[in-house]
Structure 1
Amino acid sequence: MFEGLYLLKPKVFNDDSGYFMESWNRKIILNILKKDIDFCQDNLSFSKQGVLRGLHFQKDPFAQDKLVSCIQGSIFDVAVDLRSNSKTFGKWVGVFLNDRDNEQLFIPKGFANGFLTLSESAYVKYKTTEYYSFESERYVIWNDKVLKIRWPLNKINFRNPIVSKKDSNGDIFEKDFIYFK
């Protein structure tokens, strides 16, 4: 439904000693996306249960493709389409990512991203195609009244998530604003 957004399921090889998986393979991604991806930065975040991070994005020229995975614990990951010329502009999708299924969410440039930590704690790893730029970083408020994201707070018995001061001050989503062309 969302052009360019992919839920990826890497092959996992299990045996009595544990498992092995390729978390990134350029040839496989090239085959799926039909374009080459050049990741330049890996990020790792640790969050306690109930922490909600996002909704983050970087504006052009530092917009980022991201490959998000939860390497320990479980999260509800959300991507919001901010591409003004997209038929899904202003729509969101949420997926559960965890360390058991090892699924990854590829989020193209033009999307805001955030997640809610469902497990006692979680480590989230994401690769980006552009370096972090403080001047280009932007936020859309996690509980925007237009977007109406259904965060699964009932799964963790939290009425209100734990949100950083920075994320609490995110902008409201505006249908007439051009985020990305």
Structure 2
Amino acid sequence: MEIKHHALAGVIEFTPRVFGDARGAFFESFSEKIMREAGADVPWVQDNQSRSMRGVLRGLHFQCPPHAQAKLVRVAQGRALDVVVDIRRNSPTYGQHVAVELDATRFNMLYVPTGFAHGFAALEDDTLFLYKCSNYYQPSAEGGLYWNDPQLGIDWGLTDPIISPKDQVLPQLAEFDSPF
């Protein structure tokens, strides 16, 4: 498995070795040993899946402590622009982001540690997005940042994204008090 550490400390991209032939393809989608050795040593307790049409933008979300979640995310069908924003208040990269295209052809995955807001934009119809989470979802611990905050400067690659009403009213970084 290829391992790439991104500019934001703790964010790791994994690209598996794919074995393909006329029948299709096979790859190892999770290895606790490889994740631990790369620095993503967390217990996984919940898997989630979403399906989105092209142009849907979900995020930027996180869970507040003590219900904070690390995530291992990948696309099983389609393509998505995955974005993580550092919201660790004492981090030298606070407010900075990394964007990685995840797709079902490369089978690449992104590890998002706690202390990061996370979101993605579906780049194809019927994009299936898989989340492996280190903590159970707790509605009272939900948090987020406004997806189009000019201070974050995220280029989502979409001209008119489809956003949930809840995501349209999240705070901008300047008015945000990070719980991390």
With the shorter chain as reference, the TM-score category is over 0.9
Residue 68 of structure 2 is matched in structure 1 by 63
Query: Using the alignment, how far apart are the partners of 1:9 and 1:28 within structure 2?
Result: 11
In 2, are the aligned partners of 1:62 and 1:133 still within 8 Å (CA)?
yes
* Matching residue's letter, 1:172: Q
In 2, are the aligned partners of 1:12 and 1:21 still within 8 Å (CA)?
yes
Query: Structure 1, residues 118-145: CA drift from partner, whole Å, max 9, x if none?
Result: 1122000010000000000112110012
* Matching residue's letter, 1:122: T
Q: Which ranges of 4 or more aligned residues in structure 1 deviate by more than 4 Å? A: none
In 2, are the aligned partners of 1:90 and 1:175 still within 8 Å (CA)?
no
Query: Using the alignment, how far apart are the partners of 2:88 and 2:128 within structure 1?
Result: 28
Residue 11 of structure 1 is matched in structure 2 by 17
Query: Structure 1, residues 128-174: CA drift from partner, whole Å, max 9, x if none?
Result: 00000000011211001211111111xxxxx3100011111211113
Residue 59 of structure 2 is matched in structure 1 by 54
1:115 CA drift (Å): 0.5
Residue in structure 1 matching 2:111, options 94, 98, 106: 106
Q: Name the SS of the counterpart of 2:174 in structure 1.
A: coil
Query: Using the alignment, how far apart are the partners of 2:25 and 2:67 within structure 1?
Result: 36
Residue 161 of structure 1 is matched in structure 2 by 161
Higher mean alpha-carbon deviation, 138-147 vs 96-105, is at 138-147
CA pair 2-127 structure 1, distance change in 2 beyond 3 A: same
Root-mean-square deviation (CA), in Å? 1.3
1:101 CA drift (Å): 0.6
- Aligned pairs for 1:141-152 (under 5 A) are 141-152=146-157
Residue 30 of structure 1 is matched in structure 2 by 36
1:175 CA drift (Å): 7.1
Mark the runs of 5 or more structure 1 residues left unpaired by the alignment: 154-158
Q: Name the SS of the counterpart of 1:168 in structure 2.
A: helix
Mark the runs of 5 or more structure 2 residues left unpaired by the alignment: 1-6
Identity percentage over the alignment? 41
> What TM-score does the superposition give when structure 2 sets the normalisation length?
0.93
Number of aligned residues: 174
Query: Using the alignment, how far apart are the partners of 2:52 and 2:75 within structure 1?
Result: 11
